[in-house]
Amino acid sequence: MLKGRNAVVTGSTSGIGEGVARALAAQGANIMLNGFGDAAAIEKLRAELAAKHGVKVFYNPADLSKAAECAALIEDAEKRLGSVDILVNNAGIQHVSPVDEFPTEKWDLIIAINLSSAFHTIHAALPGMKKRGFGKIINTGSTHALVASANKAAYVAAKHGILGLTKVVALETATTGITCNAICPGWVLTPLVQKQIDARAANEKIDLKQAEHNLLAEKQPSLRFTKVEDIGGVAVFLCSPAAQNITGIALPVDGGWTAQ
């Protein structure tokens, strides 16, 4: 379905971003990977996607906390792939602390990576999308774009900001052939969430299975994690003709979290 389209997926060397990159590649899209991690593992992922799906796959290590590197990522993708038709802003980090104890440098870094980077990549990608009359922008929001949790001030603020940015871009591009939407996952079993499970098990002196259950029971009525493959499938749908008139939405994939 996406044969001949070119996608940039930030934070795609693991977790949700990797799942989205795999799903888009499986539909024929060429991919620009981005993220941190072991160089050999990243190259293995790049080569695997290219060989398995017969698509072009490149990697750019841009540090998305820096505006210039966000713009350079888009420029590099346009140069090597020919265009940026699909932009998935997925990169994100987390820190948990009460507001009055929250390190200011952590606040600044989370806002830079989780929110500002999306503005910078969209800012760089939109001129080409407008020129071609086609673009699919997907921002990874969170249930925390819709509701809050204690001790996550920067993350919640950034994700609320992502949803606001999504709506503004959707309105500004409504007649251009470009759509902009946010996928809002609940608990997805990624390395980031696994760290929270491990910490909970250690702090509460319980096994990992019980820690997982307790984490889910607090927020996610389905009592199951969303899979990264599920998020990939939603991203593919938002890039499909069926979603051509869907723009400016927050699409929860959260097991009922925000229905409560």
Instruction: Give the tokens for residue 83.
Output: 């265009």
Instruction: Say which of 58, 59, 107, 155 is annotated catalytic.
Output: 155
Instruction: Measure the N-to-C terminal CA separation of the chain; round to a whole number of Å.
Output: 36
Tokens of 161: 């900001």
| Tokens matching residue 60 | 């750019």
Would you say how long the chain is, in residues?
260
With 0-12 CB in 10 A as exposed, 13-18 as middle and 19+ as buried, what is 104? exposed
Distance from C-alpha of 222 to C-alpha of 224, rounded to nearest angstrom:
5
Distances (CA, A) of 200 to 153, 155, 207, 221: 19, 19, 9, 19
Q: Which structure tokens are listed for 34?
A: 């981005």
Q: For this structure, is 59 an active site residue?
A: no
Supply the residues annotated as catalytic.
155
